[in-house]
Amino acid sequence: MKNKKVLFEDWGLTDYKQAWDRQEEIFGATVKLKTELRNRSLAGDETDETILTPNYLIFCEHPHVYTLGKSGKPDHLLLDEQGLKEKQAVYYPINRGGDITYHGPGQIVSYPILDLDNFFTDIHLYLRTLEEAVILTMADYGLKGERYPGYTGVWLDADNNRARKICAMGVRCSRWVTMHGLAFNINTDLDYFKNIVPCGIDDKAVTSMQAELGHEVDINELKQILKHHISVLFGMEIIG
């Protein structure tokens, strides 16, 4: 039995560490439940088939923060401790995939904590589906989002030397349960990207919806559009 219901939560502007700890709590509880159900099944014990693993789709924004994924290089952060203080930013090495990235106000961060056994067990398809949701959202604003061969995330002008990234992605997956997710630049202060080698790519620019459209975007409206595309592409039943 598969559970297509997904609890949606908008955490608003939330401290990164608090959001990370909350993610870990939900993620850990879901993995534990899956393990217990599987162990009961393998032992031949009767299991209550009404017990289903939950799914969450979380949106939020963070105060200025730089995060380094497992495959990243610490020297891709171009600020020392004093520089971080001057920028009112913090820095965390974390357990997602990918290199270094920036989160800050005006950027939608989405944390899908999904049991992919409820949808499809293919991490590459999972990433491509998240990318597609961003691409469709951009299209609703008249922008052409694209994939850049060899990299995750969403770009503009991916086929030429004007390539610039608008959405970064990095995920963790255990027993087909996901955490972390995507960071979509909406009204983001792009100057903060000058303090890192974004996602380890030193020869490409970073952009935002505001920079591309020439005006500030209603971030709450865009959240609704993005949520809609994610739900349709995954076949979710959004709760909340």
The two three-digit tokens of residue 200, written as one number: 């380890």
* Cα–Cα distance measured from residue 89 to residue 66, given in angstroms and rounded to the nearest whole number: 7
Token pair belonging to 210: 């505001």
- Please say if 199 is a catalytic residue: yes
Instruction: Report residue 122 CA to chain centroid gap.
Output: 17
Cα separation, 77 vs 91, whole angstroms? 9
Q: How far apart are CA 74 and CA 71, in angstroms?
A: 10
Catalytic choice (60, 167, 173, 199): 199
Report residue 90 as tokens: 């913090």
CA-nearest of 116, 128, 133, 130 to 27 is 116
DSSP bridge pairs for 107 = 185
HSE-up of 116 (CA within 13 Å, CB side)?
A: 18
Residue positions annotated with a catalytic role: 199
